Structure 1
Amino acid sequence: MKKKLICSISSLLLLGSVFAGGSASYASGTVTAGAGDNEVKSVILFVTDGTSLNAINLARWYQGGKPLFIDKYFTGLSRTYATDSLTTDSAAGATALATGHKIKSETVSILPDTITMPFIEATNKGEENKPLPTILEAAKLAGKGTGLVFTSELTDATPAVFASHAASRDFAESISEQMVYNGVDVLLGGGSDYLVPGKEEANRTDGEDLTKVLKSNGYEYVTNKKDLLNTKTNKVWGLFQPEALDADFDLNPNEQPSLAEMTKVAIDKLSTNEKGFFMMVEASQIDWFGHDNDPVGIISEVLAFDKAFQTAVEFAEKDGHTAVISTSDHATGGLNMTNYDSMDDLRATLKGIKHTSYGIEGTINESNMVKVLKEEYGLTDLTKEEVAAVKKTLKNEENLSVVIGHMIGERIGVSFSTEDHTADEVGIFAYHPKNFKPTDFMQSGIIMNSDIGKYIQYVLGIDYSALEKTLFVSGESFVKKGATVTIDKSNKLNPVIVVKKGSQLLKLPIDKNIAIMDGKTVQLNTLNLFIASRTWVSQEAIDLIK
């Protein structure tokens, strides 16, 4: 009977998923600019990277089965596939949320040049790899505040797609420069090494110190919690580790702010803008621990997210003009719970855990490993095989998370089907002052990830279709005006688009939002970009040539 019931439920879910495909229509038929709910001036979007519903379930059992704060805000499921694959990566998954467009995996907020999946609008000829305006860029142009909060490094795929554009998510040096010049009001997370030159792998190779650019543009730049809490202005960048932040179970609360604390600081600053704000908050490392098949790290970061989500909703309820949405870019790891023991048996193992495996790196070694695993995880019953596996991992300087994760998983009945992303439909959680959720917008319980992006545009009253036509246009538009366009690569690490027409000379430094017109510097409303051998600039830049 159980098998028949499970098959029936699965079939119904699958049918709902298929028919929710591209066929669902907007609640109002045709969405027009300004038709959004006037009650909403601000949107806080949470992205729980790599989080399946099973990961959320595991976090519940960690705290004795008690509901998480997010539970009562569950509203439906999101289909996460990319234009070229059933299983997406974070760049494509997050771009759908940031732009309302599904795109090709591994690319950053640009139109796809490859579409092999169903229910996806074709790219117009000549617009392949064209930059897509993001909701953050649209909010900025509408005079709203903008913010990004995350626990990864700033160039990681999810924060990157909201404030940069690239043919590959791996172009970290270009992405970090774009993020600095894109004018994000509040940015908090990890990755300070990506802004400065130096000898570390993440350091810049072009010699530019982007922290000086931030300061010259009126930003406060901080690198520890104390200085963050003492900031005086509403333009703040805080990067609290050279690369990613410490997991919530591991962080030093005197030095590094938690995800909830960063969320609160960002809200406090952005909410002073009378026009409202857009803010993205990412719980970045759930995905990383999913890749490692490490249930401890997943629990740590899901609970950290839940606290941050609560912080946002409590603000939204008091504010009365803010919507809060949470979803995942994709699921990771294929986590399964197959524990037939009692909850007390599961918690008996989990209660002894103090840190994630990331948190004990640098302190555990072959001579103290038994002691450390007892003190940090309550593991007193290690088998010979487990001892050998830990020793081998330490000796080879491999990822300890994978080994410890497996050991804990064996004891609590948690297993994983893969170390990669999965094509699961992921949860949508939402708060709206008038209870108008993304699923109401689409009139379907299962919707596309790109529909969430469209929903955000709608409730904020953003005329996205108009912005798509003018924010980024091909540099070929200069040629149509009788100008010549070349790329000055005399400084290979800092190329410049050079436009000449008669006596007019226009220089557009790539990845920056400035123009130098006949020797005079002008700030532009967006970035100058060079993607897949083509230049893309704003209509504002085109109009400088007469």
Structure 2
Amino acid sequence: MKRRELLKNGSLALGGLFLTPFTAKANIFKEEFDGKKAKNIIFMVSDGMSIGTLQMADMYSRRKLGRPSHWLSLYEQNLVQRGLMDMASASSVVTDSAAASSSWGGGHRVTNGSLNIGVNGEEYLPILQKFKKAGKKIGLVTTVPVTHATPAGFSVYSKSRNSQEEIASVYSGLGFEVIMGGGNKYFDAAQRKDKKDMYTVFRNKGYSVARNKAEMNAAPANKPLLATFDEDALPYSTDHLSSSFMKNNIPTLAEMTSKAIGQLKDDKNGFVMQVEAGKVDWAAHGNDISGLIYDQLAFDDAVKVAVDFAKKDGNTLVVITTDHGNANPGLIYGKKVDENFDRIQKFSQTNEWILQGISSGDSTAKIKERISQANAGIMISDDQAKEIQSYYAKAQMEDGVYNPRHLPFKLLSQIQQEYTSVGWISMDHSADYSEVAMFGPGSEKMKSFMKNTDMHTFLLKVAEVENKF
């Protein structure tokens, strides 16, 4: 075979076997990591990601950007170990995020709604506190409130995931080096029930406090950092991309991940960080296809940041997973399925933006125009617009916005299905086994199928931290 043909085919024949360059590279990575300790761990969670969400985001990336998603690219290049995880809670085969994160954080299955509190009231010390006691720096990064279920499940114990003001107070005593995401209202004295100014508490403990992207970027690496960029959760990525104000003031998940790594990476004992794309779950609850795909892709960008760092560092284990399925979206067969799916590339706003911008007095023409503006010229019928409008007579306002449970999210997704070919089985969590991938030292020890609570022991073991706390 001529050298030119060899290079063109991209393969090398050895004793009848064919090794692609990707396979060779993957083997080098795996050999390099074999037997090494995971000095650093970056644990990444796309909250509420069904397999259909992962697949559609990858398909979108291939068709729109001309490349696979970063997550699936790791599979294609054989750079990661891959498996499935049983995420059942102590109270149900369908978990919520609090019990799911607690199974990893505390190493025990707990009832839905609780954080590291056993069925008989036991308090399980969360894994980030164990790593902190072992001398590692700790980080939390999320697109929802930093006090929300997933980061809290790695960090604290509480009878209720809804005790977010209390969780903010507990955080102040943990000494974590990075806490970054949404949730200003749980730290702001004017909005807390006890009127306690948690920002002052953190500043008095030596923290930098950031409320926007510029302040985040300016935060010094030699001080711990608390950053909250919105009152509750951060905006959906779709809406973020369409707003200059949001782009200038609110960082993406990838930008937060990069900043957090910069804050943590130089410690001699290493670091452990959880990164969560929390609004993937929220979009699935709302059957919001634009919110779902763009936030999954934002998570995918953060995956690239983490893996790129891990490749250079050589001592970092990256875990990429989800805590449960949600709504199980997927493409439905039909003559226009390709055309319909590609239409989503032109969606400029989420369904949340559409529905929160409608009021009870709006005409059908105005409703139709708003949907057309957000959804690439889709023109719904007058009857469909009237059905949407009918919800607003009973919708209630809370903190200046409508309670989303009173708005026609399901109806709008059903209307959109004709134009997107995306179907949903529900608006809630499902009992799917969770996809899990690992890159870096310790990944070779991963089992192809595991129970959620096994993850707790696994992370401590690969980091060579004794489970004695």
TM range (shorter): 0.7 to 0.9
2:61 aligned to 51, 63, 66, which one? 63
Distance 1:403 1:256 in 2: 31
Query: Contact (CA 8 Å) 1:64, 1:347: kept in 2 or not?
Result: no
Q: Report the more deviating stretch, 352-361 or 278-287.
A: 352-361
Q: Does 1:184 align with 2:176?
A: yes
Letter in 1 for 2:114: T
Give the aligned partner of residue 294 of structure 2: 300
Matches for 1:402-481 after TM superposition, within 5 Å: 402-433=410-441, 435-439=443-447, 445-464=448-467, 466-467=468-469
2:350 aligned to 350, 356, 360, which one? 356
Give the aligned partner of residue 534 of structure 1: none
Q: CA deviation at 1:138?
A: 1.1
Distance 2:250 2:456 in 1: 31
Q: Secondary structure at the match of 2:423?
A: strand
Letter in 1 for 2:326: T
Q: Does 1:345 align with 2:339?
A: yes
Give the aligned partner of residue 219 of structure 2: 231
Give the aligned partner of residue 400 of structure 2: none
Partner deviation per Cα, 1:56-83 (whole Å, 9 max, x = no partner): 1121232345521111146011111011
Partner deviation per Cα, 1:227-271 (whole Å, 9 max, x = no partner): 111111341010000111101111221010000000000001100
Give the aligned partner of residue 271 of structure 1: 265
Query: Contact (CA 8 Å) 1:61, 1:343: kept in 2 or not?
Result: no
Structure 2: give runs of 5+ residues left out of the alignment: 1-33, 241-245, 396-405
Query: Contact (CA 8 Å) 1:154, 1:189: kept in 2 or not?
Result: yes
Letter in 1 for 2:462: V
Change in Cα spacing, 1:263 to 1:58, as seen in structure 2 (3 Å) is same
Give the aligned partner of residue 40 of structure 1: 38
Query: Contact (CA 8 Å) 1:149, 1:263: kept in 2 or not?
Result: yes
Change in Cα spacing, 1:221 to 1:250, as seen in structure 2 (3 Å) is same
Q: Does 1:130 align with 2:122?
A: yes
Matches for 1:245-284 after TM superposition, within 5 Å: 245-251=234-240, 252-284=246-278
Q: Does 1:75 align with 2:78?
A: no
Distance 2:304 2:106 in 1: 25
Q: Secondary structure at the match of 1:167?
A: coil
Letter in 2 for 1:40: A
Q: CA deviation at 1:84?
A: 1.9
Give the aligned partner of residue 12 of structure 1: none
Query: Contact (CA 8 Å) 1:75, 1:437: kept in 2 or not?
Result: no
Q: CA deviation at 1:157?
A: 0.8
Partner deviation per Cα, 1:373-414 (whole Å, 9 max, x = no partner): 222111433123321233223444433543433332332222
Distance 1:182 1:403 in 2: 44
Partner deviation per Cα, 1:446-493 (whole Å, 9 max, x = no partner): 2111122221111111211x21xxxxxxxxxxxxxxxxxxxxxxxxxx
Distance 2:331 2:223 in 1: 44
Q: CA deviation at 1:194?
A: 0.4
1:241 aligned to 205, 210, 230, which one? 230
Q: Report the more deviating stretch, 163-172 or 210-219.
A: 163-172
Distance 1:214 1:147 in 2: 15
Distance 1:37 1:161 in 2: 29
Query: Contact (CA 8 Å) 1:151, 1:285: kept in 2 or not?
Result: yes
Query: Contact (CA 8 Å) 1:108, 1:168: kept in 2 or not?
Result: yes
Q: Report the more deviating stretch, 173-182 or 221-230.
A: 173-182
1:385 aligned to 383, 393, 398, which one? 383
Identity %: 28
2:101 aligned to 78, 94, 100, which one? 94
Letter in 2 for 1:68: S
Q: Does 1:376 align with 2:374?
A: yes
Q: Does 1:316 align with 2:314?
A: no
Q: Secondary structure at the match of 1:152?
A: strand
Distance 1:137 1:456 in 2: 13
Give the aligned partner of residue 214 of structure 1: 202
Change in Cα spacing, 1:277 to 1:86, as seen in structure 2 (3 Å) is same
Letter in 2 for 1:49: D
Q: Secondary structure at the match of 2:181?
A: strand
Give the aligned partner of residue 13 of structure 2: none
1:108 aligned to 115, 119, 126, which one? 115
Give the aligned partner of residue 158 of structure 1: 150
Letter in 2 for 1:419: M
Letter in 1 for 2:126: T
Give the aligned partner of residue 528 of structure 1: none
**Number of positions where the alignment pairs a residue of Structure 1 with one of Structure 2:** 407
Query: Which is greater in Rg?
Result: 1
Q: Report the more deviating stretch, 174-183 or 251-260.
A: 174-183
Q: CA deviation at 1:348?
A: 3.9
How large is the RMSD of aligned CA atoms in angstroms? Answer: 2.0
Q: CA deviation at 1:322?
A: 0.2
Query: Contact (CA 8 Å) 1:109, 1:134: kept in 2 or not?
Result: yes
Distance 1:400 1:245 in 2: 22
Structure 1: give runs of 5+ residues left out of the alignment: 1-35, 114-127, 440-444, 468-546
Distance 1:296 1:352 in 2: 10
Q: Secondary structure at the match of 1:83?
A: coil
Change in Cα spacing, 1:434 to 1:448, as seen in structure 2 (3 Å) is closer
Give the aligned partner of residue 141 of structure 1: 133
Letter in 2 for 1:390: I
Matches for 1:522-533 after TM superposition, within 5 Å: none
Query: Contact (CA 8 Å) 1:324, 1:432: kept in 2 or not?
Result: yes
Give the aligned partner of residue 333 of structure 1: 327
Change in Cα spacing, 1:106 to 1:174, as seen in structure 2 (3 Å) is same
Distance 1:454 1:411 in 2: 46
